[in-house]
Amino acid sequence: MENQVLTPHVYWAQRHRELYLRVELSDVQGLTLLPRLECSSVIIAHRSLELLGLSSPPGSAYQVGLQNPAISITENVLHFKAQGHGAKGDNVYEFHLEFLDLVKPEPVYKLTQRQVNITVQKKVSQWWERLTKQEKRPLFLAPDFDRWLDESDAEMELRAKEEERLNKLRLESEGSPETLTNLRKGYLFMYNLVQFLGFSWIFVNLTVRFCILGKESFYDTFHTVADMMYFCQMLAVVETINAAIGVTTSPVLPSLIQLLGRNFILFIIFGTMEEMQNKAVVFFVFYLWSAIEIFRYSFYMLTCIDMDWKVLTWLRYTLWIPLYPLGCLAEAVSVIQSIPIFNETGRFSFTLPYPVKIKVRFSFFLQIYLIMIFLGLYINFRHLYKQRRRRYGQKKKKIH
Which residues are designated catalytic?
324, 331
What are the start-end ranges of the H helices in 346-361?
A: none
Q: How far apart are CA 397 and CA 389, in angstroms?
A: 14
DSSP state letters, 205-243:
HHHHHHHHHGGGGGGGHHHHHHHHHHHHHHHTHHHHHHH
Q: How far apart are CA 239 and CA 180, in angstroms?
A: 19
DSSP state letters, 234-250:
HHTHHHHHHHHHTSS-S
Q: Strand, coil or helix: what is 291?
A: helix
Q: How far apart are CA 194 and CA 192, in angstroms?
A: 6
User: 234-269 as b/e, with b when 16 or more CB fall inside 10 Å?
Assistant: eebebbbebbeeebbebeeebbbbbbebbbbbbebb
| Cβ pair 121, 128 in contact under 8 A | no
Distances in Å between the Cα of 123 and the Cα atoms of 76, 128, 157 are 11, 12, 19
Nearest residue to 334 (alpha-carbon basis) of 193, 179, 221, 204:
221
| Structural element, H or E, at residue 71 | strand 70-74
Q: Strand, coil or helix: what is 131?
A: coil
Q: Strand, coil or helix: what is 91?
A: strand
Alpha carbon 288 to chain centroid, angstroms: 25
Residues 6 or more apart from 85 whose CB is under 8 A from it?
Answer: 25, 26, 27
| Cβ pair 224, 201 in contact under 8 A | no
Q: How far apart are CA 352 and CA 359, in angstroms?
A: 6
Q: How far apart are CA 177 and CA 276, in angstroms?
A: 50
